[in-house]
């Protein structure tokens, strides 16, 4: 992998090819996954979600990156809670999973993980028209928001012991 992504290749009037490159800012953003630590039952799903996130981070718009971050956080958190014995986490959306993790009386309670998971959840709602109307003017999603959402997914993985920076 190089620090550059090919964005576009076009032939210019001289017949030469013009290659447009973009710096890959995601190198080093997601930690290296420790597959032996990820529950086998969720491994392929988590890998798929992380690959989609990495792909969108390099090519898609910021709203899509936040969406993919939210999806990855949901899959990761669900697998983590189920691995800890919380079978009620199966099939839950990110909001209820964060609440389960925020409960300090729960054996799976972990405030850092809960906060890291909550950020992609909150950023995701910013892009929704209904939320914008309900809460008044909300700042639109920016590139820095998307980067933060991806970093939160990485922090979750690292704090669970499922990845290393």
Say which residue, 105 or 159, is predicted with more confidence.
159
117 touches 156 (CB < 8 A): yes
CATH architecture of 28-164: Up-down Bundle (1.20)
pLDDT in tens, 67-100: 999 999 999 999 999 998 999 999 999 999 999 8
The mean pLDDT value for 36-52 works out to 95
**Rounded CA gap, 123 and 111, in Å?**
18
Say which residue, 24 or 37, is predicted with more confidence.
37
* Tally of CB atoms within 10 A around 46: 21
Say which residue, 46 or 24, is predicted with more confidence.
46
> Who's near 37: CB < 8 A, 6+ residues apart?
160, 161, 162, 163
Say which residue, 149 or 110, is predicted with more confidence.
149
pTM score: 0.80
> pLDDT-based confidence at 5, cuts 50/70/90?
low
Residue 33: per-residue pLDDT = 92
């Amino acid at each position: 992998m190089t620090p550059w992504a090919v964005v576009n290749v076009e032939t210019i009037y001289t017949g030469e090819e013009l290659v447009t490159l973009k710096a890959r800012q995601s190198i080093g953003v997601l930690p290296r996954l420790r597959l032996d630590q990820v529950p086998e039952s969720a491994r392929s799903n988590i890998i798929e979600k992380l690959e989609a996130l990495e792909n969108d981070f390099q090519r898609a718009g910021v709203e899509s990156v936040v969406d993919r971050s939210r999806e990855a956080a949901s899959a990761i958190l669900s697998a983590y809670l189920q691995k800890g014995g919380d079978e009620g986490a199966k099939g839950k959306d990110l909001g209820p999973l964060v609440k389960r993790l925020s409960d300090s009386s729960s054996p799976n309670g972990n405030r850092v993980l809960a906060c890291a998971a909550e950020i992609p959840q909150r950023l995701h709602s910013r892009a929704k028209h209904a939320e914008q109307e309900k809460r008044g003017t909300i700042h639109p999603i920016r590139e820095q928001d998307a980067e933060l959402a991806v970093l939160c997914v990485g922090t979750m993985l690292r704090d669970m012991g499922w990845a290393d920076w």
